[in-house]
Amino acid sequence: MRKCVDFLVIGSGIAGLTFALKVAKYGKVCIITKSKMDDTATSWAQGGIAAVMYTPDSYEKHIRDTIIAGDGLCDEKVVRFTIQESTERIRDLVKWGAKFDKTKSGRYDLAKEGGHSEYRVLHHKDSTGREIENTLLDQVRRHPNIEILENHFTIDIITQHHLGVEVNSRTPDITCYGAFVLNPRTHLVDTVLSKITLIATGGAGNVYNITTNPLISTGDGIAMVYRAKGAVENMEFIQFHPTALYHPEEKPAFLISEAVRGFGAVLRTRDGKEFMHKYDSRLSLAPRDIVARAIDNELKLSGDDYLWLDCRHLSKNELINHFPTIYAKCLSNNIDISKDMIPVVPTAHYTCGGIKVDEFGRSSILNLYASGECSSTGLHGANRLASNSLLESLVFSHRASVDAISQVKQISHCHEIPDWNAEGMVLNEEMILITQSMKELQAIMSSYVGIVRSNLRLQRAFDRLELLYRESEDLYNKSILTQRLCELRNLINIGYLIIKGAQRRKESRGLHFSLDYPKITSQKG
């Protein structure tokens, strides 16, 4: 199949849907998603979305908190306009129908999370992402200019390379013409040509053994842009959420929202002692990189597999009212959080680096934009401030839409693009190796490229990954494509980018901590 559209959106979370809604009246939009439309990281977001709504909060306070959490690597210009546009972007969501919790007086019931100096996190109980996702989906499904292709897997973006032109990272004006997409009905690769393409494919948590990310988070968009010689940066900054429910057999890991600590829950060792005072004056509400390293250190000192998050001193009724999903999930594991402490452990959670974009979401490849977790905007720096991710998606998808609308009429489709050539490909009997290779990759990354790293660990990871890369590329080049094979290929690319980024950074900063450079850049409290 061959299709031409004005706007191609790859991904169906908050970033992709926001962009689609804003550009839809200016042309035909096609949204491609590898699973069901609502199977996104957005749907899993518990805590909420940070925005300045009332005094005593202010833009300057939110800006300061973001820059402190980012450990000196935030782009201050980006931080400023993102925070200053936060209030208006929340109004967009409310206009579309999103409902955030309010107090009896009618004001938004704002929460406070780690690294925040004020109460500024809007939420819908503890399922904020699901509320936002459902709201946006309702609007998208009713829009006559938007076509949705579920269970379609994007293999690669189309550039001059597919016209036989030699392309490398120094090639001027690499241009995106659309994407090659695996069709689940025909098992063939379709060609989707577009004037403008937005990548909104989310993160890459499944490069690790255990992650809070849904199974679809395999770094597809980042890997596609890397292979197309686009700019990718800061991949060493992988955020480990300090508090996932300890349940080793369960994938993905269930997140115990940072909002629970914001509500008053306290971290304790297995023998019941508080410990965060040894690491930071903000205690359990320090930024995530600090809390995750503290927990990691305590577990290594004790030899325990997990420690406790204690909610027992908090009001049971208020706990259930604010965190019904978390309460129910823990209860299903025979944990009554009003009476029992919750076993928690740090878990791979968020990709702070990604496709390098400018202030309008433009990548280094012409006509290609990126928004959301797959992008690197300069907002997060070396560590993302809690609940800034959904805000970033809203702001950058809005800005990308403004720029794309101004450009789309000047762009024509590139009809010279040849269709995908699968000649000589076979249904390979060795496909069973994909599962084993995936496990090996995740074990390598978890063992050597986790919360604490070293030059030796990184080199061991690189050497082992190189073998997996050669094996998977050989399989890819000979086989009829499957989604799982492509995901393995993408995750190996992601692993490489994380390792190389970590090897280049000769310091400990934010989410990247190396035993060879143990002096951590100061984070002012």
Q: Rounded to whole angstroms, how far apart are CA atoms 154 and 486?
A: 9
Six token digits for residue 466: 């190189």
Q: Residues 288, 457, 464, 505: which is the catalytic one?
A: 288
Give the neighbor-by-neighbor strand order of the sheet with 238-245: 238-245, 342-351, 307-310, 266-268
Place of tokens 């878990």: 347
For 209, half-sphere exposure in the C-beta direction (CA atoms, 13 angstrom radius) is: 13
* 288 labelled catalytic: yes
3-state secondary structure at position 80? helix
The conformation of residue 102, written as its DSSP 8-state character, comes to: B
Return all residues near 406 (Cβ < 8 A) that are at least 6 apart: none
Is the alpha carbon torsion for 475, 212, 209, 207 positive or negative? positive
Tell me the residue type at 476. Y
Dihedrals φ, ψ of 182, to 5°? -80, 120
387: left (phi over 0), alpha (psi -120 to 50) or beta: left
Q: Rounded to whole angstroms, how far apart are CA atoms 362 and 378?
A: 13
Place of tokens 């979401």: 361
CB of 158 closer than 8 Å to CB of 42: no
- Kindly write down the DSSP assignment for every residue of 490-509, as one continuous string: HHHHHHHHHHHHHHH--SBB
Please identify every residue annotated as catalytic: 288
